[in-house]
Amino acid sequence: MNDTYLRSGIFLAPFQNLEINPTLALERDMELLEHLDRLNYHEAWIGEHHSGGFEIIACPEMFIAGAAGRTRHIRLGTGVVSLPYHHPFVLADRMVQLDHMTRGRAMFGVGPGALIHDAKKMGIDPSQQRRRMDESLDAVVRLLRGETVTRKTDWFTLEAARLQLPGYTRPHMEMAVAASRSPVGALASGKYGIGMLSIGGTSPQAMERHASNWGLYEETARANGHVPDRKNWRIVGMVHIAETREKARENVKFGLDSFCSYFRDVATFPILPPDVADPLQFLVESGTACVGTPEDAIAYFERLLEGAGGFGVMCELAHNWADWPNTKRHYELMAHYVHPHFQQSFEPRRHSYDFAAEHHVEFVGQANAAVQAEIDKLAARRAERAKRSAVD
């Protein structure tokens, strides 16, 4: 077992079946965050999407503000805000407000935008999204640091711009950049010394890309005067567990086909080849997903740790493959049996138990001797009182 302490989290795009009432779907996502808060999950990242019909949260900041009032502990991040879609000054100002409203529980995840059809609807050339992300991120980071920024690009202008509020979190709220297939995310996060959120599958080939991106991150961070820290690296995996493998596989029949259809028909990010006859078998056998028991989930994340060389957060994709009761049960099993394995929660208790068990006979003897000593003392006092009474 790796001795690295892993925090727990989810990446909530979200993925909602087209047949589900959208109002109730959003409420269900909110209830999920409340459930995770009770289960001691450390964080949740909420996505931004504007088309495609499946990922229906358009404003993660608004969702986080609502969730903050219904949760107590869990940290809530934008996962991610698509920087090319927003003026950097207004966006930075909103995030600082959210930092205050959540008393520092908000995190700021950014990226170029994953859905081409989102960009097209705003008249943005997809080939320019990553360049725009870099330009915006530079401005946003400087603004969050309290700097006065003047900059003009072909899509935004800043004239002596400075935020009117300092952040609640100092020096500024935690940030992360999404990284998948291209090196852009690793370069951007390394340049500013902020976290990296790896979203690109967990097959052995995907893990090689993640490890390569981390190497690029380390190189870029050091070149810019930052100290790389794997605690700030999140890797997103796909997991569903139940009490048995058979039950887990039965559970995912509820929503797996719709999820796969979305990635075949709409999403521009590949999850599985179009000619796969059995999506579940492919996802499990390729290492892209884990569908099984808590023990299987432990083995899955152990493999990711080994393939990556270490990271800070095991982040689950909230895929909605199972119905609501079985989804809640999945997270309960993760919290009760999988997270403690990676957080050394069991070891002190086991050590204490084993120590007591090893000395059980000795301790029972000492306890019995102590009790008997008190019984003997009481008997002696009574005998002494009886003797005095007889003399009197």
Segment 204-239, tens digit of pLDDT: 999 999 999 999 999 999 999 999 999 999 999 999
| pLDDT digit string, tens, across residues 161-172 | 999 999 999 999
Binning pLDDT at 50, 70 and 90, where does residue 335 land? very high
Domain positions in the chain are: 7-346, 359-391
* Residue 183 burial (C-beta neighbours within 10 Å; 0-12, 13-18, 19+): middle
The one-letter amino acid at 6: L
| 109 torsion bin: left (phi>0), alpha (psi -120 to 50), beta (else) | beta
- Evaluate if residue 324 carries a pLDDT over 50: yes
Tell me what pLDDT residue 152 has.
98
What's the mean pLDDT when you consider all of the chain?
96
Check residue 334 and report its DSSP letter: I
The one-letter amino acid at 308: A
| pLDDT digit string, tens, across residues 70-100 | 999 999 999 999 999 999 999 999 999 999 9
Determine how β-strand 175-179 pairs with β-strand 289-292: unpaired
Residues 138 and 3: their CA atoms lie apart, in Å, by 36
| pLDDT digit string, tens, across residues 371-384 | 999 999 999 999 99
* CA torsion, ordered 188, 191, 234, 185, to nearest 10 deg: 20
274 versus 178: which is more confidently predicted? Answer: 178
| pLDDT digit string, tens, across residues 288-303 | 999 999 999 999 999 9
Residues 48 and 18: their CA atoms lie apart, in Å, by 18
| pLDDT digit string, tens, across residues 236-256 | 999 999 999 999 999 999 999
What the block records as the tokens of 230 is: 């794997």
> What is the number of other CB atoms lying within 10 angstroms of the CB of residue 204?
12
* Residue 90 burial (C-beta neighbours within 10 Å; 0-12, 13-18, 19+): exposed
Binning pLDDT at 50, 70 and 90, where does residue 1 land? very low
Task: Please report, rounded to a whole number, the percentage of residues in the chain having pLDDT higher than 90.
Answer: 92
The CATH H-level (homologous superfamily) assignment of domain 7-346 is Luciferase-like domain (3.20.20.30)
CA distances from 88 to 11, 148, 212, 265 (A): 24, 13, 30, 32
* Residue 302 burial (C-beta neighbours within 10 Å; 0-12, 13-18, 19+): middle
| pLDDT digit string, tens, across residues 95-131 | 999 999 999 999 999 999 999 999 999 999 999 999 9
Under a CB-based contact definition with an 8 Å cutoff, are residues 236 and 317 in contact? yes
Residues 172 and 16: their CA atoms lie apart, in Å, by 33
What the block records as the tokens of 346 is: 């069991």
CA distances from 29 to 39, 109, 207 (A): 15, 19, 29
Under a CB-based contact definition with an 8 Å cutoff, are residues 297 and 291 in contact? no
Binning pLDDT at 50, 70 and 90, where does residue 3 land? low
In Å, how far from its chain's centre is CA 247? 25
